[in-house]
């Protein structure tokens, strides 16, 4: 990630002037730079938001933020095109604890050679057909500290890759090389006097590179795919160096995955599963994740044209599981417990439910959603009720609540300080 200072909101607002919606009779009067931006597929959004708490576990509250996210989609003719998308953010205009930063989310070029497409550059590679929980989605990192009403869609931050895709009928075969590893951004704030560092392994060494392959079938009665990923885990584990210093490390994984989706009238059935083989197959190292099987099975149904319900069941089966609370060394035990909490390996078998209800009213200008995840083992949960209203084709408002709850020794209970009310106004251009 590239961090740069952002000097003032006026620059953001001026740059965000849309080139769309200009009457035909004034097109000739359009400034040359606006015409060029329109030709290059310039679009994006500006948003102002308010969160009652940050997502960094840093006890920072009442955050008014401003974000400018422009995008260019230039075309080179029938043989290629490209995408460039940036995000300039100040997530807390009233406090210097939240730094201002700029990030290139995606920057790649596409080249077309008959049945073969080649994509080179920083890109998002989302895998999986399940809703939100995707066991096979291991290639693209996300920023879990992002403050956005659409964080599910916008938290991906891209990774450098070379992707070649071959099309034959309803089948596609993708080969992917990941030369420079890019990890997730995690919501961990160390307590005073404690040092938390991270070995990001992003120097492009051969030992840090990743490879993936996926065969996908789309267009038949059943859409399905099988996949394999060999590379570093975008989620870290903590390895203690001393009582007050822990380093976050990323270990290598083998991930064998598959998914499917089928439509039956107004019902949709989806499933996704993966076996994740780690560097600790015997489960003897308390600071390396154990191998595990992770699968999701769900159904969604359109009750009406304006009301959809999605329900999923999921389960994680941890191979050679050990109770990390039995470790006698306190420093090692604290690190191991944090690892299994953050990576959801607290129990030998973890299972639960997810649900999503979406509804629209007033010619789809008002949207409501209730999203929830419940872990049955420890009765911890996450719930997000939200409303969105489109004032115009450009302006849209959001309001909602992120609720994390559960005992401290549970996944969503650990993140309970991130519970926050939020509001957002967004202009799309």
pLDDT at 179 over 70: yes
> How does residue 314 score in pLDDT terms, banded at 50, 70 and 90?
very high
pLDDT tens digits, one per residue of 321-350: 999 999 999 999 999 999 999 999 999 999
- More confident position, 266 or 263: 263
Q: How many domains does the chain have?
A: 1
pLDDT at 66 over 90: yes
Q: Is the model's pTM score more than 0.85?
A: yes
Is residue 1 included in any domain, yes or no? no
Is residue 29 included in any domain, yes or no? no
What was the pLDDT predicted at 266?
A: 87
Residues 257, 276: Cα–Cα separation, whole Å: 9
* CATH at residue 179: 2.40.160
pLDDT at 10 over 60: no
- The boundaries of the domain holding residue 265 are 9-22+35-428
Is residue 229 included in any domain, yes or no? yes
Instruction: Name the 3-class secondary structure at 278.
Output: coil
Helices (H), ranges, 32-71: 32-39
Residues 331, 235: Cα–Cα separation, whole Å: 21
Strands 101-113 and 159-168, sheet pairing: unpaired
What was the pLDDT predicted at 15?
A: 37
Is residue 28 included in any domain, yes or no? no
Is residue 289 included in any domain, yes or no? yes
Is residue 210 included in any domain, yes or no? yes
Q: For the purposes of burial, counting CB atoms within 10 Å of the CB of 77, is it exposed (0-12), middle (13-18) or buried (19 or more)?
A: exposed
CA–centroid distance for 63 within its chain: 21
Is residue 30 included in any domain, yes or no? no
Residues 206, 366: Cα–Cα separation, whole Å: 50
**SS3 sequence, 317-328?**
EECCCCCHHHCC
Helices (H), ranges, 119-235: 151-154
Among residues 56, 72, 64, 134, the alpha carbon closest in space to that of 93 is found at 64
Is residue 232 included in any domain, yes or no? yes
């Amino acid at each position: 990630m590239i961090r740069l200072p952002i000097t003032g909101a006026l620059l953001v607002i001026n740059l965000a002037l849309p080139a769309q919606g200009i009457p035909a009779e004034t097109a000739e009067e359009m400034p040359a730079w606006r015409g060029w931006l329109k030709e290059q597929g310039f679009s994006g959004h500006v948003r102002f938001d308010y969160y009652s708490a940050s997502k960094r576990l840093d006890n920072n509250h009442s955050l008014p933020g401003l974000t400018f996210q422009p995008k260019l989609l230039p075309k080179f003719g029938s043989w290629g095109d490209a995408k460039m998308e940036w995000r300039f953010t100040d997530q807390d205009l009233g406090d210097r604890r939240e730094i201002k930063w700029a990030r290139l989310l995606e920057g790649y070029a596409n080249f077309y050679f008959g049945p073969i497409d080649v994509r080179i550059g920083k890109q998002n590679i989302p895998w999986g057909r399940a809703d939100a929980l995707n066991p096979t989605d291991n290639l693209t990192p996300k920023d879990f500290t992002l403050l956005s009403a659409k964080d599910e869609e916008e938290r991906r931050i891209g990774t450098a890759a070379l992707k070649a895709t071959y099309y034959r009928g309803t089948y596609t075969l993708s080969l992917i090389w990941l030369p420079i590893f890019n990890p997730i951004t995690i919501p961990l704030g160390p307590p005073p006097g404690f040092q938390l560092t991270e070995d990001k392994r992003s120097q492009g060494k051969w030992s840090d590179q990743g490879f993936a392959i996926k065969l996908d079938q789309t267009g038949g009665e059943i859409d399905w795919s099988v996949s394999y990923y060999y590379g570093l885990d975008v989620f870290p584990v903590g390895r203690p160096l001393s009582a007050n210093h822990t380093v976050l490390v990323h270990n290598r994984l083998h991930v064998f995955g598959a998914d499917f989706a089928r439509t039956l009238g107004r019902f949709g059935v989806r499933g996704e599963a993966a076996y994740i083989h780690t560097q600790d197959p015997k489960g003897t190292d308390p600071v390396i994740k154990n191998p595990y099987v992770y699968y999701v099975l769900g159904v969604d149904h359109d009750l009406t044209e304006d009301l959809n319900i999605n329900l999923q069941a999921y389960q994680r089966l941890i191979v050679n599981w050990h109770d990390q609370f039995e470790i006698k060394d306190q420093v090692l035990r604290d690190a191991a417990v944090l690892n299994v909490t953050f990576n959801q390996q607290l129990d030998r078998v973890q299972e639960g439910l997810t649900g999503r209800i979406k509804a629209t009213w007033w010619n789809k200008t008002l949207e409501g959603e209730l999203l929830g995840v419940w872990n049955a083992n420890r009765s911890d949960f996450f719930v997000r009720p939200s409303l969105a209203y489109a004032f115009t084709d450009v302006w849209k408002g959001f309001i909602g609540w992120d609720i994390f709850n559960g005992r401290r020794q549970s996944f969503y209970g650990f993140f309970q300080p991130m519970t926050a009310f939020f509001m957002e106004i967004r202009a799309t251009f």
